[in-house]
Structure 1
Amino acid sequence: MPHRNARLTVFGRRLLVDRVCSGRPVAHVAAEMGISRATAHKWIRRWRAEGDAGLHDRSSRPRTTPHRTAADIEERVCELRRTRKLGPARIGPILGLPASTVHRILTRHRLNRLAWLDRPTGVVIRRYERDRPGELVHVDVKKLGRIPDGGGHRTLGRQAGRATRSSMGFDYVHSAVDDHTRLAYSEIHPDEKVATCAAFLTRAAAFFQEHGITRIERVLTDNAWAYRKGLAWKAALADLGATGKLTRAYRPQTNGKVERFNRTLLDEWAYLRPYTSNNERTEALADFLHTYNHHRCHTALDGHPPISRINNPAGQYT
């Protein structure tokens, strides 16, 4: 995968190739895309030699790993974990391996946490995700009280902030999260009416397309009226060629990825610091989203940011 500040995703590399093939000088295209001429020439050479396949990241895994634990021993480690629920400190002496080696093997096979396993069978049941970008997008709305000029109760104290809190109204943060990549997009609106939700979905799809997710197949939402009955929402889905899915009633866990994103949204943006105005908080959203998508380590992606899954659709990291 590219380093976290890399200028080009796979989508950006295709854009580079298209612009150069249209007859423009490589140096000009490189300058406008913020990369060096050497980098631009490298991707052009790969594309000419290998076609579109050459624009994808190459694995940094070494061709041979002579000191890696044998496959049959790794299988024995996994079997002891599934059948007897043993940890590294107990599996190690049984197989004559250091506990640290056993832990790496369990982590590689995603068996390092017993909470992820079905106790009777040892099958991994905790984590689930779609196989490819765009297969399922989670959508939800988070309601936040607006901040008066000069600050609310977090800045002035609860008693001083209480007088203006009820008269300020609410912001509605509409968010969409791709199930496979965890790439996220959010907008702030004054309501959650059907037309607002439909327009948001259209812009979210355009955002995903800009980042290489060219098609959205399904959209998962809760049972709000706008999603169940709204004609404009259904028309937006039809324009995208996507199918709408609703969660079970009173089961927000079904839409868990965007619900968890909402919590991160609150912790790392909305309540990160005392804002002195509603506009100040609104303007900080763009920086948060860029950090979340391009730089913030995501535990479900083995410590990589969501944008890395665009370059590495199979989700395999080295």
Structure 2
Amino acid sequence: MDIHENARTTPHSRAEMVRRVIEEGASRSAVAKAFGVCCKTVSKWVDRFLAEGPEGLRERSSRPHRLHRPTPGTIVDAVIKLRRQRLPGHEIARRCGVSPATVSRILRAVKLSRARDLDPPEPPRRYEHPNPGDMIHIDIKKLGRFGRPGHRITGSRKSKSIHRGIGWEYVHVAVDDASRVSFNQIHPDEKAPSAVDHLKACVAYYKRLGVAVRRVMTDNGACYRSTAFKNTCRELGLKHVRTKPYTPRTNGKAERFIQTALREWAYARSYITSDQRAACLAGWTHRYNFHRPHGGIKHQTPISRLGLPVDNLLRLHT
């Protein structure tokens, strides 16, 4: 409840006023003098309490119950119609014969005052393929290499020059749409040969888990549009699906996985060098696949969705 900073009374003090008048029999003028308010204020709260009980001592809106000259419904409809035609507020006010303030009030009430409200974002379309291997999402994340802890850990940028020219490394990720089982590798670049090597290793990894990959989804990066990647997909019997340009949410499972990897692996602890960080990727991926509950699959572990026999599961876990 919002109360003015200079308010003389609060619900608690109003209740005390009422108690002194009704229970102690004090005069309203004496109570008003004791609380530093006028007698009319005390009478108001006493009368409200007698009529409504304790609820009558709460704050009320100062908005009038009935407007003196409300805007006609035909004008309101015309304002909304013109706004949906992308007309600005002053033009709508001129055409409808009302003030810009009236137009602004109407548009705020129907949540059309901002330009972005005229084109609301498309609601997310969530999907999940029924079988493991039906769709593998593949993407790449670029990370800077370093020879000592950087400013994220030390908080100082004075040693920035020591990292200059050390280069980059690229994490190629793959996530199964149905189970969320992931496979990740670090390559020195994001060119076609690296993308092809990751694809072959990815298919072989899922095959060891008993999953036959049928389709892969990537963005429109140059390595995925290359002839080498196209030929590799054909050799492996894979259907290659590319996302709609400028629509990263289409490949959302890979995008979301990358955010998880950055938070729980890449930036989760202080690494001495980027090589140490890279060495920890395999262990973190194992934890993600075998031990970490996944919120998108009802807090199951990704490996549990493959339905592997106990013997195979134990063999893969070691």
1:162 to 1:236, Cα distance in 2 relative to 1, 3 A: same
The counterpart of 1:303, out of the listed 292, 299, 302, is: 299
- CA contact 2:223–2:229 (8 Å) conserved in 1: yes
Residue ranges of structure 1 left out of the alignment (5+ in a row): 1-123, 313-318
Please name the residue that 2:221 is paired with.
224
Deviations 1:23-59 (A, max 9, x none): xxxxxxxxxxxxxxxxxxxxxxxxxxxxxxxxxxxxx
Please name the residue that 1:254 is paired with.
250
Mapping for residues 15-30 of structure 1, pairs under 5 Å: none
Once the two structures are TM-superposed, the CA of residue 170 in structure 1 deviates from its matched residue by: 0.9
- CA contact 1:175–1:187 (8 Å) conserved in 2: yes
- CA contact 1:129–1:179 (8 Å) conserved in 2: yes
The counterpart of 1:151, out of the listed 149, 160, 177, is: 149
Mapping for residues 71-220 of structure 1, pairs under 5 Å: 127-148=126-147, 150-213=148-211, 215-220=212-217
User: Aligned partners of 1:171, 1:254: CA distance in 2, in Å?
Assistant: 25
Please name the residue that 1:28 is paired with.
none
The alignment status of 1:244 with 2:240, answered yes or no, reads yes
Q: Which gives a bigger RCO, structure 1 or 2 (Cα 8 Å, sep 6+)? A: 1
User: Aligned partners of 1:254, 1:126: CA distance in 2, in Å?
Assistant: 9
Mapping for residues 25-40 of structure 1, pairs under 5 Å: none
- CA contact 1:176–1:185 (8 Å) conserved in 2: yes
- CA contact 1:217–1:241 (8 Å) conserved in 2: yes
Residue identity matched to 2:195: C
1:163 to 1:305, Cα distance in 2 relative to 1, 3 A: same
The alignment status of 1:235 with 2:209, answered yes or no, reads no
User: Aligned partners of 2:283, 2:242: CA distance in 1, in Å?
Assistant: 31
State the secondary structure of the residue aligned to 1:248: coil
Count of matched residue positions in the alignment of Structure 1 and Structure 2: 187
User: Aligned partners of 1:158, 1:209: CA distance in 2, in Å?
Assistant: 46
Which TM-score applies when normalising by structure 2? Answer: 0.56
User: Aligned partners of 1:175, 1:256: CA distance in 2, in Å?
Assistant: 13
Deviations 1:252-299 (A, max 9, x none): 000000000000010000000111111110111011100000000001
Once the two structures are TM-superposed, the CA of residue 143 in structure 1 deviates from its matched residue by: 0.4
1:305 to 1:161, Cα distance in 2 relative to 1, 3 A: farther
Residue identity matched to 1:255: N
Once the two structures are TM-superposed, the CA of residue 156 in structure 1 deviates from its matched residue by: 3.5
User: Aligned partners of 1:253, 1:165: CA distance in 2, in Å?
Assistant: 33
- CA contact 1:220–1:245 (8 Å) conserved in 2: yes
The alignment status of 1:287 with 2:286, answered yes or no, reads no
Once the two structures are TM-superposed, the CA of residue 218 in structure 1 deviates from its matched residue by: 1.0
User: Aligned partners of 1:296, 1:161: CA distance in 2, in Å?
Assistant: 36
State the secondary structure of the residue aligned to 2:280: helix
Q: Please say which of residues 150-159 and 260-269 is displaced more in the overlay.
A: 150-159
Residue ranges of structure 2 left out of the alignment (5+ in a row): 1-122, 309-318
1:231 to 1:157, Cα distance in 2 relative to 1, 3 A: same
User: Aligned partners of 2:291, 2:158: CA distance in 1, in Å?
Assistant: 37
Once the two structures are TM-superposed, the CA of residue 127 in structure 1 deviates from its matched residue by: 3.4
State the secondary structure of the residue aligned to 2:179: coil
Deviations 1:156-194 (A, max 9, x none): 333134213332211100001010010100001110110
Please name the residue that 2:313 is paired with.
none
Deviations 1:201-221 (A, max 9, x none): 0001111111121x2111100
Identity %: 41
Once the two structures are TM-superposed, the CA of residue 146 in structure 1 deviates from its matched residue by: 0.7
Residue identity matched to 1:146: R
